[in-house]
Amino acid sequence: MTAPTLDATVPQERRLVTEVPGPASRSLMARKLSAVAAGVGTTMPVFAARAGGGIVVDVDGNQLIDLGSGIAVTTVGASAPRVVEAVQEQVAAFTHTCFMVTPYEGYVAVAEALNRLTPGDHAKRTALFNSGAEAVENAVKIARSHTGRQAVVVFDHAYHGRTNLTMAMTAKNMPYKHGFGPFAGEVYRAPLSYPYRDGGTDGVVAALQAIDVIEKQVGAANLAAVVIEPIQGEGGFIEPAAGFLPALATWCRDNGVVFVADEVQTGFARTGDMFACDREGVVPDLIVTAKGIAGGLPLSAVTGRAEVMDAAHVGGLGGTYGGNPLACAAALAAIETIEAEDLVARAREIEAVLLDRLRRIEARDARIGDIRGRGAMVAVELVHAGTDVPDPELAKAVATAAHRQGVIVLTCGTHGNVLRFLPPLSISDELLHDAFDVLAATFEVTR
């Protein structure tokens, strides 16, 4: 099975008609520099004109292979036919009434879909927001309201967003926090299971170490929530050892602490399960979703146990745009696409291609320290050969060379030494192989 949801109007091949960036992108970049705040950076100096399937077409007519999905957002593709049609229909009907003023069915239908799809078959409720960070903040509000406690525990290498509370929850200083303090209080950091760098510590043992830190430095009686990404995103696609997440979830349940899974990056078929928590049968009390939820439209959600979600008083949750009708129409169409096209299975096929191609590079190249991740969320951690010393310069060099040859690839990691692969699930095997031919050649020439 390949490319089930392509937009047929975007040709599915890599094709360069100018150097990258071309003249049209360069002139737009000059305008960007004088009009847009410098703090808003771009991975590539290339402007998009259209996108679909596994291709982004730039303003010079170059066709680039998309291994980023706009940071794990366009999981169903950037112009998935069902999403395009649903949004066109909704925009002609009405754009906004505000769900808190005169509600509409789309919001309720998205809540029902999330209550059905997320882990666990207990009674659930959902609230919708705009961004991942906003949803994480609301999960914390809800957990505090439910428990009457204040403290929040997060983990090393965590990324939860750029608002004030979520900056406090995010681990990495540069670029996310530097100079932007003071940060929200009552946020504590625990050690994470990181198999490549903790000597392969057993997952349950690593969880007991984290729990010890939590009990000694915070105290369960003060703790409202433990918030964790089941596979870390910006932190470097770190996948905790088996047993880590279940042990933490169990400790939370035993201590009346709300266990919150931040599945903003991992959700909606990305990891080869509908949600990453599904792999080990972990049932979070609250699950935070965004990114892949709505085929590219801004939407986020908190879904969880009815008694936890309903703890916040009437009027305590919401926002002007939360659950916008266009975003809800897009989400219903994206979810329908994931289910109808069995994109969970497609993510596992993509995993097989990505892992095979990366292992073939690794066999010839000692600078590949670790290959990890699941589904269409796979990364390589790059190190100086024969050591485990991070090599961010190599990650940058490979990414930049790939960009020039028409492959969109992203970096991540606390040390910036991780190349991450997040293709849309609408990409074909042919495009994946072409992209990895480019990457493999790039590794050869940087040796």
Ligand X SMILES: *Cc1c(COP(=O)(O)O)cnc(C)c1O
- For the bound state, the minimum distance from the C-beta of residue 160 to ligand X, rounded and expressed in Å, comes to 5
| Closer Cβ to ligand X, 227 or 383, answer by number | 227
Closest by CA to 161, choosing from 194, 195, 207, 129, is 129
Kindly state the smallest distance separating residue 170's Cβ from ligand X, in Å.
8
Taking CB under 6 A as the rule, does residue 410 contact ligand X? no
Close Cβ partners of 350 (under 8 Å, ≥ 6 residues apart): 375, 376, 423, 425, 427, 432
- Rounded to the nearest whole angstrom, what is the least distance from the CB of residue 215 to ligand X in the complex? 25
Q: Does 218 sit near ligand X (CB under 6 A)?
A: no
Does the footprint of ligand X cover residue 262 (CB under 6 A)?
yes
In whole angstroms, give the CA distance from residue 111 to residue 98: 16
Strand pairing category for 410-412 and 418-421: antiparallel
Pairing status of strand 151-155 against strand 124-129: unpaired
Can residue 304 be called a binding residue for ligand X (CB under 6 A)? no
How far is Cα 2 from Cα 53, in angstroms, rounded to an integer? Answer: 10
Binding mask 264-283 for ligand X (x = CB under 6 A): xx------------------
194 in Cβ contact with 156 (< 8 Å): yes
Least distance in angstroms from the C-beta of 29 to ligand X:
23
Q: How far is the CB of 422 from ligand X (least distance, A)?
A: 10
Q: Check: CB of residue 203 under 8 Å from CB of residue 240.
A: yes
Instruction: With contacts defined by CB under 6 A, name the span among 57-65, 127-135, 190-198, 304-312 that binds ligand X.
Output: 127-135
- Tell me the C-alpha distance between 144 and 225, whole Å: 8
Polymer length of the chain: 447
Exactly one of 131, 138, 303, 417 binds ligand X (CB under 6 A); that residue is 131
For the chain, the straight-line distance linking the first and the last C-alpha, in angstroms and rounded, comes to 35
- Burial grade of 116 (CB within 10 A; 0-12, 13-18, 19 or more): exposed
The residue (of 124 and 160) whose beta carbon lies closer to ligand X is 160
Q: How far is the CB of 131 from ligand X (least distance, A)?
A: 4
Nearest distance from C-beta of residue 110 to ligand X, angstroms: 16
Smallest separation, CB 41 to ligand X (Å)? 14
Give the closest residue to 422 by CA, choosing from 194, 160, 233, 195: 233
Q: How many residues bind ligand X (CB under 6 A)?
A: 14
**233 belongs to the binding site for ligand X (CB under 6 A):** yes
Three-state DSSP class for residue 114 = helix
Residues 132-191 that bind ligand X (CB under 6 A): 132-133, 136, 159-161
Q: Which stretch binds ligand X (CB under 6 A): 115-123, 129-137, 320-328, 373-381?
A: 129-137
Contact residues for ligand X, defined by CB under 6 A: 131-133, 136, 159-161, 229, 233-234, 262, 264-265, 290
